[in-house]
Amino acid sequence: MSIKRILALFFRHAYLLKRSFPRILELFYWPLLDLLVWGFLTLYLEQYRESLPQFVTFFIGALIFWDILFRAHNGIAVSFLEDLWSKNLLNLFSSPLMGSEYILSLMLVSTAKLLVTSLVLFALAWVLYSFNIFILGISLLPFVINLIAMGWVIGIFTVALILRFGQEAEVLAWALGVFFMPISAVFYPVSVLPPFLQKVAQFIPSAHVFEGMRALLKTQQIPVNHLVWATALNAAALTSVFLFFSWIFSFIKRKGQLVKIGE
């Protein structure tokens, strides 16, 4: 066993860490998000411990809903990375394939994966916890669609950033969606957040979805205001992110950077 070889490999990784901002950021990113999410949840439990309303139903429902958003985002990003890792991206775009067609195909792949995953989650939640998400019927569908739409927005934005900045941005395929978790108020109401984050949450579609889900489970009535806000914000975000992707895609083609991606 050679101490020199061990240290040589250690310093190799340390050097990579020193020269890469995304790698440095990742050291603090996940612990900070864990602290925020579970810290706010603790505050919620502390404030409402005397009268927590159907907390098992709320938490399991929130977990399933969050997974829908995450899978919608992750399905697009990881499918793109698979083309990148297999060095198939240049082959695809050497054909008449348009950038918009490629993104729409990733959205279909994301939806297909999401359907399979969600059916498994629904079945396990019913078998293990007697939680039947279908009890509210068609009322949940608009909120699910909004979560999928937001997942698509994050996924397309992630693909655009990886195209622009290359391999160092690949961590965003897993990290960017989770960034929205604390301010989406997945496991607790928006009112638990600090005042400035409450203002930010007003412009996050998923925050309106989770607030709406809790209201729907509690009152059995669709909270129209949250649904309208989520739909309007998602429509604006989808339009913006498609334009952003088109601009990035045109930029890298014009600069000849498509050849270098994934090398």
Q: How far is it, in rounded angstroms, from Cα 104 to Cα 92?
A: 14
- Judge whether residue 11 has pLDDT over 80: no
The mean pLDDT value for 129-157 works out to 84
Copy the structure tokens of residue 187. Answer: 């496991």
Copy the structure tokens of residue 142. Answer: 């608009």
The mean pLDDT value for 119-130 works out to 81
The mean pLDDT value for 104-113 works out to 89
Specify the higher pLDDT residue, 135 or 248: 248
Q: How far is it, in rounded angstroms, from Cα 179 to Cα 92?
A: 31
pLDDT digits (tens, 9 = 90+) for 13-46: 677 666 666 666 666 766 676 677 767 777 776 6
Copy the structure tokens of residue 243. Answer: 């334009």
The mean pLDDT value for 231-253 works out to 92
pLDDT digits (tens, 9 = 90+) for 47-64: 666 555 566 667 777 888
What angle (nearest 5°) sits at the alpha carbon of residue 142, between those of residues 200 and 224?
65
Residue 238: the pLDDT is 95
Written in H, E and C, the secondary structure of 56-74 is: HHHHHHHHHHHHHHHHHHH
- Judge whether residue 259 has pLDDT over 60: yes
- Residue whose token pair is 């927005």: 153
pLDDT digits (tens, 9 = 90+) for 176-213: 888 888 888 888 888 888 889 999 999 999 999 999 88
Q: Is the pTM of this model over 0.85?
A: no
Q: How far is it, in rounded angstroms, from Cα 137 to Cα 134?
A: 5
